[in-house]
Amino acid sequence: MSSPNSKAFLAVLLLETITGLSSSIFIIICLYDPATKCQRFSTLNRILMALSASNMSFLFTMSTHFLLLAVWPKFYNMLYVFYPICYLTLYSITSTCWLTSALSIFYFLKIIPSQSGILTKLKNMLDTMTGGLLLVPEVVSFSGSFLSLLISNPNSFQTNATKTETEDLMVRKVSFNGIVMALNFLPFIIAIVTTVISASLLKHYDGQMKKKIGHLNAKVKDYRTAVHTMSALLMFYTSMFLILIFFLLKATDTTTWGYWICVMLLFSHPTVQSAILIHGNPNLKEELRKLFTIITQ
């Protein structure tokens, strides 16, 4: 792709980065109440704030990753630059995926009926499990990212005399995206399972409410909103994995339109995810409405 087009796409990526950061900051500010800073936040608010912070980290690392790749490819190709950037990028992607699965688990535990069993015990312990729902994703992201890059054999990334610089860089990118998919396969499966079960339970609740009172009560409506949010997040991450598969098929030539379009889609994910989270949270929607009212006055 010619230089002018590359610059245009980089400008679009910058706009997407600003939009993603703004939407994530908006969520954090709306959920953070200074009056309760010495008190415990709700479990949901903590997860949403952590997820928004993770989205911000994703944008910072991805911006650095692709800026160096597009503007200073020779510098990016150096191992002491390539590996720290790859680690931070892998960590941010993994953290976002695992925190999203934690959000799916939270909604799932809220929806399941209160009956005897291990799931009900976990449901009753949900407020005390907040630390675990946030700590486990970060530990997995931190350690898993490091071990994955270590196991991937650094020597395989060293430039071979028989390879061109472009071929060597392609091998690195394909290997990196393979690691991303392997490390985030489990949270993706967790999101699928919890969403499917939650949707089945919601259908059951709908039938019960219509038989008993002829309409849905507020709790079932909240469950429906939660399931819709989970479903949207699931489709959201499915699209991310499809883009990574595109890269795995070695369609990673930076001179093609397809490459840059996929990069643009990746950069749009924090904004899209923030939109999904805001749409699924009445408080955030109300704050956004107030903000638009102030802007348009």
Q: What is the pLDDT of residues 110-128, one digit of tens each?
A: 887 766 567 667 766 666 6
Work out the mean pLDDT of the chain and round it to a whole number. 76
Task: Specify the higher pLDDT residue, 69 or 163.
Answer: 69
| pLDDT, tens digit, 9 for 90 and up, residues 130-151 | 777 788 888 888 777 676 666 5
Is pLDDT larger for residue 292 or for residue 41?
A: 292
Cβ atoms of 66 and 13 closer than 8 Å: yes
Statement: residue 236 has pLDDT above 70: yes
User: 260 exposed, middle or buried (CB, 10 Å; 0-12, 13-18, 19+)?
Assistant: buried
The answer to whether 260 touches 13, Cβ cutoff 8 Å, is no
Q: What pLDDT sits at residue 78?
A: 74
Q: What angle do CA 283, 289, 294 make, to 5 degrees?
A: 130
pLDDT > 90: percent of the chain: 10
**Confidence (pLDDT) at 97:** 87
- Given pLDDT bands bounded at 50, 70 and 90, which one contains residue 248? low
Helices (H) and strands (E) in the chain, counts: 11, 0
**Average pLDDT for 211-219:** 60
Report pLDDT for 214: 54
Arithmetic mean of pLDDT, 221-230: 84
**With pLDDT > 70 as the criterion, what percentage of the chain qualifies?**
68
pLDDT at 39: 46
As a whole number, mean pLDDT of residues 74-101 equals 80
Look at residue 210 in the predicted model and tell me its pLDDT.
Answer: 60
With cut-offs at 50, 70 and 90, classify the pLDDT of residue 211.
low
pLDDT interval class at 277 (50, 70, 90): very high
- Three-class DSSP category at 183: helix
pLDDT band at 24 (very low <50, low <70, confident <90, very high): very high
* pLDDT score of 168: 54
Return the pLDDT at 187: 85
How far is residue 244 from each of residues 88, 178, 271, measured CA to CA in Å?
A: 17, 8, 18
pTM: 0.80
Q: In which residue are the tokens 């219509």 written?
A: 210
Residues 6+ apart with CB under 8 A from 237: 97, 100, 188, 191
pLDDT tens digits, 155-199: 544 444 444 555 555 555 556 666 666 777 888 888 889 888 888
Q: What is the mean pLDDT of residues 77-106?
A: 82
